[in-house]
């Protein structure tokens, strides 16, 4: 036997895998790997999986509660917004009404003040007319007295007799003033 054939014989006796057997594990490796895997799977299924499910359920409950709270808060915010918009609309309507009332009151006050001002102007004008009339009457009386005394004095000098008698003096003065007024009326009519 040659050296070459001795190596082939040695390789055949050591049970070295060759070909496809290189990729397949030995039977004892499969069995022990399956036992370890089964122990890990049982531990995972009994201890870790329930805890993991519990944490996931709690998280889902928190998320759902948060969503419900957010929806409730959004609903409250929408209701508050609608209420604020309604209050704002009512406030605007009330402000418009107050403006209209103020405008109406202002118009009424201005109208009332104009009426009072007109009444005051009429009262002042009437008082002035009365005062002017009273002063005119006083001037007429004063003028009659002065004109009468001057006319009497003048007539006495012209006629040459005394007109000291008050009745006679009054008749002469009245006749003179009537003639004076008549001549003024004629002059006024000619101008018009």
Task: Answer whether residue 175 is part of any domain.
Answer: yes
Task: Answer whether residue 7 is part of any domain.
Answer: no
Task: Answer whether residue 3 is part of any domain.
Answer: no
Task: Answer whether residue 117 is part of any domain.
Answer: yes
CA distance 27 to 7: 27
pLDDT, tens digit (0-9, with 9 covering 90-100), for 112-122 = 999 999 999 99
Q: What is the mean pLDDT of the chain?
A: 83
Q: Does pLDDT of 35 surpass 80? A: yes
pLDDT of residue 171: 74
Task: Answer whether residue 44 is part of any domain.
Answer: yes
Q: Which residues constitute the domain of residue 126?
A: 15-191
- In degrees, rounded to 5, the angle at the alpha carbon of residue 104 between the alpha carbons of residues 101 and 110 is 140
% of residues, the chain, pLDDT over 90: 49
User: Which bin fits 55, alpha (ψ -120 to 50), beta or left (φ > 0)?
Assistant: alpha
CA distance 112 to 86: 38
Task: Answer whether residue 140 is part of any domain.
Answer: yes
Assess contact for 177 and 140: CB atoms under 8 A. no
Task: Answer whether residue 1 is part of any domain.
Answer: no
Structure tokens at 155: 């007539």
Number of domains in the chain: 1
Position of tokens 């003028």?
143
pTM for the whole thing? 0.36
Structure tokens at 24: 């397949």
Helix, strand and coil content of the chain, in percent to the nearest 5, comes to 90, 0, 10
Task: Answer whether residue 6 is part of any domain.
Answer: no
| DSSP single-letter state for residue 24 | S
Assess contact for 133 and 122: CB atoms under 8 A. no
Assess contact for 172 and 144: CB atoms under 8 A. no
pLDDT, tens digit (0-9, with 9 covering 90-100), for 158-188 = 766 665 666 666 777 777 778 878 888 888 8
């Amino acid at each position: 036997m040659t050296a070459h054939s001795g190596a082939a014989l040695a390789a055949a006796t050591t049970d070295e895998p060759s070909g496809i057997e290189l990729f397949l594990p030995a039977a004892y490796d499969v069995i022990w790997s399956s036992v370890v895997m089964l122990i890990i799977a049982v531990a995972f299924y009994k201890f870790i999986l329930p805890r993991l499910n519990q944490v996931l359920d709690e998280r889902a409950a928190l998320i759902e509660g948060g969503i419900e709270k957010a929806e409730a808060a959004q609903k409250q915010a929408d209701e508050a917004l609608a209420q604020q918009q309604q209050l704002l609309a009512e406030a605007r309507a009330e402000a418009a009404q107050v403006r209209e009332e103020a405008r109406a009151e202002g118009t009424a006050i201005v109208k009332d003040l104009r009426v009072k001002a007109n009444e005051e102007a009429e009262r002042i004008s009437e008082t002035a007319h009365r005062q002017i009339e009273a002063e005119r009457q006083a001037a007429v009386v004063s003028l009659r007295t002065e004109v009468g005394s001057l006319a009497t004095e003048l007539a006495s000098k012209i006629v040459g007799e005394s007109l000291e008698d008050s009745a006679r003096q009054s008749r002469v003065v009245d006749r003179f003033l009537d003639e004076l007024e008549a001549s003024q009326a004629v002059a006024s009519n000619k101008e018009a």
